[in-house]
């Protein structure tokens, strides 16, 4: 049961069109609102993805087109990692407009620290270790670990299967 869930959850990717955009917004809505009641809920997901995009954007932790591509990451060659759920975070549209193609460390200082009301952003900032994101191998390992951690949390806690 867990293996099937993990396989399907791992397939969610940024580059697969509107259906998956909705799925990503939905997943982050569930993560951010897990355990929240009524007025504490933050509405990230909307069935009309255009409405979701007005308020929240899907942010790539490691940018698709890094400003200073120190690690020789190519969107064409490394698409599976770059568009993986483990490399994504939903942030306010306002915050995302400031993020640009900066490094993760720069984004944390300029952007993410201002979006801490979202639990997924807060959790990422609290667990971030710059050393894990300093090499191409480290970045991909961190993305994969985050995706696997999210899968376990989704399975055991969010959907409690």
Q: What is the pLDDT confidence band of residue 50, given thresholds at 50, 70 and 90?
A: confident
88 φ, ψ to 5°? -115, 155
What lies within 8 Å, CB to CB, of 151 at 6+ separation is 5, 6, 9, 10
Mean pLDDT of 124-147: 91
> Which pTM does this prediction carry?
0.89
Helices and strands (H and E) in the chain: how many: 8, 2
Q: Which of 10-14, 43-47, 50-54 has the lowest mean pLDDT?
A: 50-54
pLDDT at 94: 81
pLDDT at 47: 83
Predicted confidence (pLDDT) at residue 71 exceeds the cutoff of 70 = no
pLDDT at 72: 72
Distance CA 77, CA 22 (A): 25
């Amino acid at each position: 049961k867990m293996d099937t869930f993990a396989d399907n959850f791992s397939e969610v990717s940024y580059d697969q069109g509107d259906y998956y955009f909705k799925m990503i917004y939905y997943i982050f809505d569930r993560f951010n609102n897990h355990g929240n009641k009524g007025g504490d809920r933050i509405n990230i997901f909307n069935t009309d993805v255009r409405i979701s995009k007005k308020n929240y954007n899907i942010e790539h932790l490691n940018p698709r087109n890094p400003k200073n591509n120190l690690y020789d990451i190519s969107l064409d060659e490394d698409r599976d990692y770059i568009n993986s759920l483990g490399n994504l975070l939903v942030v306010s549209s306002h915050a995302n407009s400031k993020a640009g193609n900066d490094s993760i460390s720069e984004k944390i200082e300029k952007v993410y620290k201002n979006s801490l009301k979202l639990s997924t952003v807060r959790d990422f900032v609290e667990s971030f270790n710059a050393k894990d994101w300093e090499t191409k191998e480290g970045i991909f390992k961190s993305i994969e670990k985050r995706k696997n951690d999210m899968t376990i949390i989704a399975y055991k806690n969010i959907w409690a299967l």
